[in-house]
Chain A
């Protein structure tokens, strides 16, 4: 399903996002929290290319983020894979079909929900301090960050995932032409 150059391009998008997150965004602290570009990766990938790609992108984006965290390795990979899948599946459901048209606000909302899922899972596996007033500041920063950076990531995913034939809104991507027709024929 996924051709080699696609993997490489996707890895480039993830690596550049990680670099930007660690060098720039961690310094942008508002109300004690900072924007989180890594959670926006699976959300935007899920919206652009569907549940399966969203989950795979989420897994690798989370694993990359885990490299630089002191939380248990694999925690972000687990949560991001779930988030990417969930967003992709929701977009493809009749209920979420209009999300593509509201994909920017959907990215913001999806990223905030993803952050909440992270807090819940972290809390379940015994990571203390996941729920506090600080979480509200985190939601604010993550939501605003998603609104700002999702358009850039949509462009990035259109470039990286253009050859993927899958469900989701790949067909609406300018570079993928009539992928939906291909997949349904």
Chain B
């Protein structure tokens, strides 16, 4: 009897595993994946009001804890920011001078980043899983937001819309291991790939110009137009060269602090067909 019971248990497990594998396989196929996407969006919509309510309550509490834990770090950041403000004020005076010229250049080159309409929104929830770098935002298809649209924060590229329900969307962050974007460091093109806590640059050619630490990487606009050109992605944090002086690896830290990110803008940008 115990043997029969053991067989039944194994049979139950086998059936469940086969169903799971079948569903995973079907999820990679277009029509079924779309159906599953609709079910997922409906589930997200059902949970959305609860998440918003909880987020509204927990955000201030979390800010208090974050402030207490990172007090020293915040003081350092404040000092750095004050120094940066001074630098920026000096630059601002210079930039006012060249503004008129840059406007003319902009109208000539039609830089899409500056002309794309955006929708402002708020982060509702961090990633639902520890195995993905995503956030949920309070903008959905009813706000004109859809999959593939770039998301930016005050300091640069946040990520891209992965899926949208009526009232909210899931954003794949730029540091997610599945995320990729073409970037420019000066005039040189690189392919940036999320690493979980930053980005690493690939397609490093022998004739690539050696970037410097602190250099800002911006979207190139060359990935079939997936992103408008000129969005800041991050700053170079390390450059490794081989013994022969050839570039081996370049690490970039995102310009966005995802831990403290609360407000975002979705660029209503769709790649040209």
Considering the complex, give the chain B residue whose CB is closest to the CB of A119: B131
Please name all residues of chain A whose beta carbon is closer than 8 Å to the beta carbon of B217 when the two chains form the complex: none
Tell whether, in the assembled complex, residue B126 and residue A26 are in contact, meaning their CB atoms are under 8 Å apart: yes
Given A68-B43, A70-B170, A134-B196, the answer on whether A26 and B128 have CB atoms closer than 8 Å is yes
Contact A74 B40, CB 8 Å, known A27-B62, A34-B130, A55-B13: no
Whether A75 sits at the interface, judged by CB under 8 Å, is yes
A51, B36: Cα distance in complex, Å: 29
Interface residues of B in 197-221 (CB under 8 A from A): 197
Does A36 contact B130, Cβ atoms closer than 8 Å?
Answer: yes
The answer to whether B126 touches A73, judged by C-beta atoms less than 8 angstroms apart, is: no
Segment at the B interface, from A76-84, A97-105, A154-162? A76-84
Contact B130 A142 (CB under 8 A): yes
For the complex, give the distance between the alpha carbons of A18 and B50 in Å. 12
Name the residue on B nearest A82 (C-beta): B17
Q: How far is the CA of A55 from the CA of B47 in the complex (A)?
A: 26
Residues of B within 8 Å of A74, CB to CB, are 19-24, 27
Kindly identify which residue among A24, A58, A70, A81 contacts B132, using a CB–CB cutoff of 8 Å. A70
Contacts of A132 in B (CB 8 A): 177, 195-197
- A167 and B24: CB pair below 8 A? no
Q: Complex: how many Å from CA A44 to CA B62? A: 29
CA distance A128 to B50 in the complex (A): 31
Asked if B155 is an interface residue, CB under 8 A from chain A, the answer is no
Bound CA–CA A39/B58 (angstroms): 23
Given A27-B54, A68-B43, verify A129-B130 contact (CB < 8 Å).
no
Docked complex Cα distance between A62 and B177 (Å): 22
B125-150 toward A: CB 8 Å interface, digit per residue (1/0)?
A: 11111111110000000000000000
Selecting from B4-12, B92-100, B239-247, B262-270, the interface stretch reads B4-12
Interfacial chain B residues near A119, Cβ < 8 Å:
131
Question: In the complex, which residue of chain B has the Cβ closest to the Cβ of A18?
Answer: B47
Q: In the complex, which residues of chain B have a beta carbon less than 8 angstroms from the beta carbon of A34?
A: 126, 130
CB of B178 closer than 8 Å to a CB of A = yes
Interface size class of B (residues with CB under 8 A): 35 or more
Question: Which residues of B have CB within 8 Å of A36?
Answer: 129-130
- Which of B13, B16, B177 is in CB contact (< 8 Å) with A128? B177
In angstroms, Cα B5 to Cα A133, docked, is: 42
Task: Please indicate which of the listed interface residues B12, B19, B125 has the most CB atoms of chain A within 10 Å of its own CB.
Answer: B12
B255 within 8 A of A: no
A55-B12 contact given A67-B43, A81-B20, A142-B130, CB 8 Å threshold: yes
Residue of A nearest to B41 (CB): A67
Q: For residue A60, which residue of chain B has the nearest CB?
A: B16
Chain B's nearest CB lies how many Å from the CB of A129?
A: 3
CB proximity of A156 to chain B, nearest CB, Å: 19
A181 at the interface (CB under 8 A from B): no
Neighbouring A residues of B170 by C-beta, 8 Å? 70
Q: Say yes or no: is B194 at the interface (Cβ < 8 Å to chain A).
A: yes
Query: Is A129 a contact of B40 with CB atoms below 8 Å?
Result: no
Q: How far is the CA of A55 from the CA of B259 in the complex (A)?
A: 35
Beta-carbon contact of A129 and B47 below 8 Å: no
Question: What is the CB-to-nearest-CB distance from B61 to chain A, in angstroms, rounded to a whole number?
Answer: 9
A68 touches B126 (CB 8 A): no
Asked if B129 and A71 sit within 8 Å, CB to CB, the answer is yes
Tell me the chain A residues, 119-143 only, with Cβ under 8 Å from chain B. 119, 122, 125, 127-130, 132-134, 137-138, 141-142
26 CB-based A-B contacts, threshold 8 Å = A23-B53, A24-B58, A26-B125, A27-B54, A34-B126, A34-B130, A51-B9, A52-B9, A56-B12, A65-B129, A67-B44, A69-B128, A69-B129, A69-B132, A71-B131, A73-B23, A74-B20, A78-B24, A81-B13, A81-B17, A85-B9, A129-B133, A129-B176, A129-B195, A132-B196, A134-B197
Q: Which 9 A-B pairs have the closest CB atoms?
A: A129-B177, A74-B23, A78-B20, A128-B177, A23-B54, A67-B43, A74-B24, A138-B130, A52-B9
Known: A51-B13, A78-B20. 6 other contacts (CB 8 A): A23-B125, A27-B54, A52-B12, A70-B129, A72-B24, A82-B13
